[in-house]
Amino acid sequence: MSKRQLAMVIDLNKCLGCQTCTMACKTQWTNRSGRDYMYWNNVETAPGKGYPKMWMESGGGFDAEGALNAGRIPSLENDYGAPFDLNFESALGMAGAAEQGNRPWLRPAQNPAYGPNWDEDEGAGEYPNSYYFYLPRLCNHCSNPACVKACPRKAIYKREEDGIVLVDQSRCRGYQHCVAACPYKKVFFNPALGRSEKCIFCYPRVEQGTAPACARQCPGRVRFVGYLDDENGPVARLVNKHKVALRLREDFGTQPNVYYVPPLSPPKYDARGEITDEPRIPLEYLVKLFGPSVPHVLETLRTEMEKKKTGQSSELMDILIAYRHEEMFTLGAPAERQKT
Amino acid sequence: MLNRRKFLKVSGVCGAGLALPGGAMAGALHVDDPLRAYPSREWEEQYRKELAATRGDSEGFAFHCSNCQGNCAWRTGAQGGMIVREEQLAQYPQINPDIPDANPRGCNKGIIHSQAMYEKDRLLYPLKRAGKRGEGKWERVTWDRALEEIAAKVVEVIQKHGPGGLMIHAGTGILSQGKRAGPLRLGSLLGAIRLYPSSAVGDMFTGASVAYGVPNVGHSLDAWFEMDYILLWGINPSVTRIPDAHYLWEGRYRGARIVTIAPDYNPTSIHADMWVPVNPGTDSLLAMSLVNAAFEDKLYKEDFIKEQTDLPFLVRKDTGLLLRESDLRKDGSGDVFYFWDKKTNSLAEAPGSKGSKRDTLRLGGADPALEGTFTAQTRNGKVQVTTVFELARREAAKFSPEDTAERTGVPPAMARRIAREFAAAKKAGLTIGFSLHKYAWGILACWAQALFCALTGHAADTGGLDTESQWSLGGIGPLSNPKPARFASGFLSEWIAGGMDDSLKKHYGDKEFKARAGLDADALIKLSRESREKKWLAHYGEPKARIIFADNFFRRNKSAKNFKDTVLAATELLVAVNFRMDTSAESADYALPSFAHYEGWDIRGEVGYHRFANLVVPPPGLRPVGEAKSEWEICRLLAEKIEAAAKAGGVAKIPDPEFSVTVDGAQTAVTRDMDTLGADFTMGGRIATDKDVTRWLVENDPAFQPWKFEDAAARGFITLNREAGLTSPLYASKPYHSFEEQVYLRRPYPTLSGRQQFYVDHPLFLKLGAAVPTAREPLHPSRFPLKFYSPHTRWGIHSTWRTNKYMLRMQRGEPHVLLNASDAAKRGVSDGARIRVFNDVGEFFALAKIGAGVRPGSLVMEHAWEPHQFKGRAGLNSVVAGLLSPLELAGGWGHLKFGPEWDGNQLALESSVEVALAQASAGDT
């Protein structure tokens, strides 16, 4: 195991679904060099097919005995979605290309079959008991990473100082065993470079004391970043002390280091149109995603909200409120990091 | 363990790329356990280098001057003279340790502008039309030639038609004080027509104007954090207020109960404590039901309404007019009003009204009666009078929650519960969005909401109505408005210019409309004429030359095809100044390239969501994109060319007798000084560049003091001072709330009554039965089964960034509409199908998407797709009729006089449509 482990907590009760994180990551890392189709960070509407399409049913991870499960490599066109360009030249005619009468309208030069946010805001449930929530996803920098286990070259490793999982770009040969093995489908094959790439937890930023782009640039202020052994940091307190941050699909066996505060939801209506006190997101769905402690965590959240409302103190609410943006990230000063 | 080969089921990601490099295993490093230690990590430099490249070698500051009003501070990085990336500055100071700070303001659009600014729709050079209008054939011309030709036409038009023959309009694509200064100043010097942008785009909160005398009221959005109860009505802040929405969800953790009212289950509703689904356009009915509950369940705060509102004012029962001093005395004022003092059992003059000599709301020892009928001795005898309170309560009695439930879709118990909880909360806020006033009865909904807030005593720091808070930036006048311009009603001017009466008659020309609206389409059209003729609203006729800065008017306007054809036919010269080829520039005679957001110096500080004025400071060494110029430079050069053309034609000073100004205490007729236009524009050479403009603004706006230009430019933003507040001080460590001066210092409101106004005896309001807040049924024609509405999207700020590939890749690539599964199934429409949306106004084609949160019977399309993204360039406004709200045509009464505080709305959300599967034709798929 690495000496320390960086982790992220994502509060789904504050997520706006705005995709600023997705775009922050895109311009930071994936708008070039064969990575255009990749979304190292994505936000999907849940329930939904997700990104890549049906990733949750694509295999990978470990079975009960700790052996790798079979996994599927998603298709670029149909599962990730090809990154289209637009027909600006022919549609707008600024380059003098347009002919009268048959000027096309502005649209993708290639018709997309899927995309990273294809089922945005579609959700489920019968109106008015419709429901959905936003699920941001990135590489989980797992403590038992299936990608590491699957790589025949041992070209994927966990950094001992922070537990960030990296694909060695000088040694990867693009076999894609890692792509299939990752149950979250967060390793991507770079067709231009012939090797696999994925979220690097913005380690070059982290090394300078700056939080990953998706976290620091989140206007909803939903992401906390810090070391799990830093007991005073918000991450450790949310994960270990208050135990309100849960792993996504822990049953995949990879021990993710991205945690989620599960979502509350407004109450349903009964058949007569009267309001009930039953949350509209089905509990069994949340349990499938975040495990058996979901009911307990939701109850904790409600209890602590009530405490805060009635003027009592609540450390949990104070952390989640995040009074100071910079305090959401406890990475240590760059100089301090170098010593570790 | 499985053999690795077995579990690898390749399903085709770039098959060719899978070829395994020969001998790849050769020379492999010995790795013992990659979970513990990895021997060779030099390669990690690769991503470190990439990070450095995205930061560039020079840095600047920026914001986006777009009409989201977000106004967020960013740091820009440039490499080799090109912007490479932006990142939120996230340096705003926390104003109070008990309130979350404002970092990191920004959103998904601002964050990709570094990419969008170099996209292929970027205007690089001045273009002159080389084919028919809109044909897409262009000739690249020099700035000199383009401006000389435009200047010659401008001089010709002014000579022939006077200054009103010219329109110089700055649209909502540039809302910063820096970028607007150029077009506003040039238009003002020339006396050109300009439209009121907020009205043209339907963003006037007319209901608030009626109640408070100002449309933009409320609080800075950090105040959400301190609320105990938040009602979000027709607003979707998780989508439309991305930088501020955190205050809601953090406020919920602090203890706020958050209730959303909207037809669809939207990204804001998902985090609410309760979502109230409502039928589209029935908001005035629901609002009146809350008012009803406040009256009937006695939730009202007597002390508050006696002092702060006109509810105790007396109304003549014979005429329905407010009892005025002029009723009592021959030389009495029409602006002095009365209540019945219970202490003296007699009439008492209400202090603080427009005509009152007492500049206060303090009642002294008086105790105004809220209920009862009294006798007043007028100069023409005795008349019976009653109170506004009585009349408002009587009107509200028609709209009990039980009565409106079927129409609104809201169960009565829920309406009563909202009223009760709102009234009981210590600090309760009602924030409305821009959608309500895009319905004809938005004005009524908002006025009733204001009454509900007044009855429950919520105002200033105990909450109340929040439309959109705005700062008071004084001192800008000498720069942007040195002389009077022809400031015209936005919605009415465009409705007339585009011949929208045609679609009004088509879509609303039946008895159903008359029954609901209280007048038929012909009467409404006649009323629009009356409003213009009586100068209730300002209209200056049709300009022959239009120079339009950053306004996508052919995208935005309703009955779109007719609008475009009609406007083009009447316009001899159309110039579009923009950073990109939008749908409107596409039909122009000249398209001139301006700077986009990061390229020129700029400052913006009027938006009241937060207290920071941001600067744009271009990174040193940044290269211009093509031949783009700042708006200021374009206007300066144009001013010089107009002066030269005028002089060449022997034109010097043109008298403009419609306007006069006061010079040394004397009224002087305005002249349009063509012969000194160049020097007048630059204040005698003092302001030559966008940087000079920014410096001037920092130095001259009282709200920016004591910041020095150099210090502001080094920090990227200015924290506004106390002076920025309009009706309250902006305290250094507290959120801002409107009307503290009224509530605590008892200073009058800027209304006729001097109070929150709930009685309007304007003849039109009386005629339409709306002298007190009331409600009407929505006007969607039932001939078409689906109510069509188009809320703001998270994927663009109106049409800006709407065609950006990074944004489109996060959608479906082409315009789509959202339907409920049941409506889709009835029509054989499945997810992804291409459908035709149509009614008697027009049609357009789009992809269908099925959303579980869409209300059955409605069709939702996030707005502002560019028409050139649709088949046949027919955008979503092809099916939207040109509707008018009759009450918004009023004017010339009390505080309802045309100007920045009173103009109506271009309506957008009240048309009905049907959809059908589209017949596939060549090139569709």
- pLDDT of B922 over the 70 cut: no
Which residue numbers in chain A have pLDDT < 70? 95-102, 333-340
Q: Residue B838's pLDDT is what?
A: 98
Interface test with B, best of A13, A27, A62 (most B CBs within 10 A): A27
- pLDDT of B3 over the 70 cut: no
Q: Do B14 and A108 touch (CB under 8 A)?
A: no
Measured between beta carbons, which residues in chain B are less than 8 angstroms from residue A2? 35-36
Task: Tell which phi-psi region holds residue B580, choosing left (phi > 0), alpha (psi between -120 and 50) or beta.
Answer: beta
For domain A6-82+114-339, give the fold.
Alpha-Beta Plaits (3.30.70)
Q: Residue A224's pLDDT is what?
A: 98
Measured between beta carbons, which residues in chain B are less than 8 angstroms from residue A107? 813-814, 869
B427 and B524: one domain? no
Q: Do B7 and A203 touch (CB under 8 A)?
A: no
**pLDDT band, residue B20 (cuts 50/70/90):** very low
B575-607 pLDDT tens trace:
999 999 999 999 999 999 999 999 999 999 999
Considering the domain boundaries, does residue B762 fall inside one? Answer: no
Measured between beta carbons, which residues in chain A are less than 8 angstroms from residue B407? none
- Going by C-beta distance under 8 Å and a sequence separation of 6 or more, which residues neighbour residue B12? A73, A75, A76, A77
How many residues would you count in chain A? 340
Q: Residue B446's pLDDT is what?
A: 98
Query: Which of B104, B132, B852 is opposite residue A217, by nearest beta carbon?
Result: B104
Query: Which of A23, A73, A158 is opposite residue B806, by nearest beta carbon?
Result: A23
Cβ atoms of B835 and B829 within 8 Å: the answer is yes
Query: In which order are the strands placed within the sheet that holds B545-549?
Result: B138-140, B127-129, B590-593, B573-578, B545-549, B166-170, B193-195, B486-488
Count CB atoms within 10 A of the CB of residue A135.
22
Q: Could you tell me the CATH number of the domain that includes residue B243?
A: 3.40.228.10
Q: Which of residues 42-61 of B touch A (CB under 8 A)?
A: 42-44, 46-48, 50-51, 54
Cβ atoms of B891 and B825 within 8 Å: the answer is no
Q: Is the ipTM of this complex over 0.95?
A: yes
d(CA B748, CA B744): 11
Distance, C-alpha B333 to centroid of its chain: 37
Cβ atoms of A20 and B794 within 8 Å: the answer is no
Q: Do B854 and A127 touch (CB under 8 A)?
A: yes
Residue B95 token pair: 């104003």
Q: Which of B255, B237, B257 is nearest to B245 (CA)?
A: B237
**Minimal Cα distance from B845: which residue of A?**
A105
- pLDDT of B92 over the 50 cut: yes
Q: Within an 8 Å CB–CB cutoff, is residue B812 touching chain A?
A: yes
**Minimal Cα distance from A45: which residue of B?**
B267
Q: Do A132 and B868 touch (CB under 8 A)?
A: no
Q: Residue B362's pLDDT is what?
A: 98
d(CA B378, CA B399): 34
Q: Which of residues 93-152 of B touch A (CB under 8 A)?
A: 94, 97-101, 103-108, 111-112, 114-115, 119-121, 123-124, 127, 131-132, 135-138
Q: Do B107 and A18 touch (CB under 8 A)?
A: yes
d(CA B234, CA B430): 10
Measured between beta carbons, which residues in chain A are less than 8 angstroms from residue B35? 1-2, 145, 148, 157-158
**pLDDT band, residue B26 (cuts 50/70/90):** very low
Q: Is B529 helix (H, G, I), strand (E, B) or coil?
A: helix
Q: Which of A23, A33, A34, A18 is nearest to A82 (CA)?
A: A34
B794 and B840: one domain? yes
By residue range, what is the domain housing residue B451? Answer: 206-278+408-466
d(CA A142, CA A7): 9
Query: Which of A67, A105, A189 is opposite residue B869, by nearest beta carbon?
Result: A105
Over residues B229-233, mean pLDDT: 98
**Minimal Cα distance from B10: which residue of A?**
A73
B495-533 pLDDT tens trace:
999 999 999 999 999 999 999 999 999 999 999 999 999
B439 and B503: one domain? no
**Minimal Cα distance from A207: which residue of B?**
B48
Considering the domain boundaries, does residue B244 fall inside one? Answer: yes
d(CA B190, CA B671): 9
Measured between beta carbons, which residues in chain B are less than 8 angstroms from residue A124? 852
Q: Do B253 and A320 touch (CB under 8 A)?
A: yes
Measured between beta carbons, which residues in chain A are less than 8 angstroms from residue B870? 105
Measured between beta carbons, which residues in chain B are less than 8 angstroms from residue A179? 13
The pTM for the full model equals: 0.96
B713-769 pLDDT tens trace:
999 999 999 999 999 999 999 999 999 999 999 999 999 999 999 999 999 999 999
Tally of helices (H runs) and strands (E runs) in chain A: 11, 14
Domain boundaries, chain A: 6-82+114-339
- Going by C-beta distance under 8 Å and a sequence separation of 6 or more, which residues neighbour residue B433? B232, B233, B234, B235, B236, B240, B792
Which residue in the block uniquely carries the two structure tokens 């596939």? B920
Return the minimum-mean-pLDDT range out of A123-127, B24-28, B107-111, B238-242: B24-28
Count CB atoms within 10 A of the CB of residue A296.
11
**Minimal Cα distance from B236: which residue of A?**
A16
Cβ atoms of B820 and B856 within 8 Å: the answer is yes
Over residues B113-140, mean pLDDT: 96
Interface test with A, best of B240, B809, B854, B868 (most A CBs within 10 A): B809
Closest-CA distance of chain A to residue B242, Å: 7
A286-310 pLDDT tens trace:
999 999 999 999 999 999 999 999 9
Q: Which of residues 8-37 of B touch A (CB under 8 A)?
A: 8-14, 16-21, 24-25, 28-29, 31, 34-37
**Minimal Cα distance from A120: which residue of B?**
B811
Give the angle subtended at the CA of A45 by the CAs of A43 and A46, to the nearest 5°: 115
Closest-CA distance of chain A to residue B149, Å: 21
d(CA A18, CA B111): 11
Q: Could you tell me the CATH number of the domain that includes residue B517?
A: 2.40.40.20
**pLDDT band, residue B23 (cuts 50/70/90):** very low
Measured between beta carbons, which residues in chain B are less than 8 angstroms from residue A70? 2, 6-7, 9
Residue at which a domain ends, from B419, B448, B466: B466
Number of domains in chain B: 2
Q: Which of A8, A262, A39 is nearest to A135 (CA)?
A: A262
Q: Do A20 and B269 touch (CB under 8 A)?
A: no
Considering the domain boundaries, does residue B747 fall inside one? Answer: no
d(CA B737, CA B76): 33
B902 and B821: one domain? yes
B498 and B421: one domain? no
Considering the domain boundaries, does residue B809 fall inside one? Answer: yes
Burial level of B345, CB count in 10 A (0-12/13-18/19+)?
exposed
Interface test with B, best of A12, A18, A169, A320 (most B CBs within 10 A): A18
Measured between beta carbons, which residues in chain A are less than 8 angstroms from residue B851? 121-123, 130
Query: Which of A94, A127, A177 is opposite residue B4, by nearest beta carbon?
Result: A177
Q: Which of residues 576-605 of B touch A (CB under 8 A)?
A: 581, 586
Closest-CA distance of chain B to residue A213, Å: 9
Task: Tell which phi-psi region holds residue B509, choosing left (phi > 0), alpha (psi between -120 and 50) or beta.
Answer: alpha
Mean pLDDT of chain B: 95
Q: Is A71 helix (H, G, I), strand (E, B) or coil?
A: strand
Closest-CA distance of chain B to residue A104, Å: 8
Q: Do A157 and B814 touch (CB under 8 A)?
A: no
**pLDDT band, residue B924 (cuts 50/70/90):** low
Percent of chain B having pLDDT more than 90? Answer: 94
B786 and B837: one domain? yes
Q: What are phi and psi of B840, to 5 degrees?
A: -85, 5
Cβ atoms of B410 and B291 within 8 Å: the answer is no
Considering the domain boundaries, does residue B417 fall inside one? Answer: yes
Q: Within an 8 Å CB–CB cutoff, is residue B518 touching chain A?
A: no
Q: Residue B921's pLDDT is what?
A: 60
Measured between beta carbons, which residues in chain B are less than 8 angstroms from residue A68? 1-2, 4, 7
Q: Residue A102's pLDDT is what?
A: 67
B863 and B919: one domain? yes
Cβ atoms of B721 and B730 within 8 Å: the answer is yes
Q: Within an 8 Å CB–CB cutoff, is residue B275 touching chain A?
A: yes
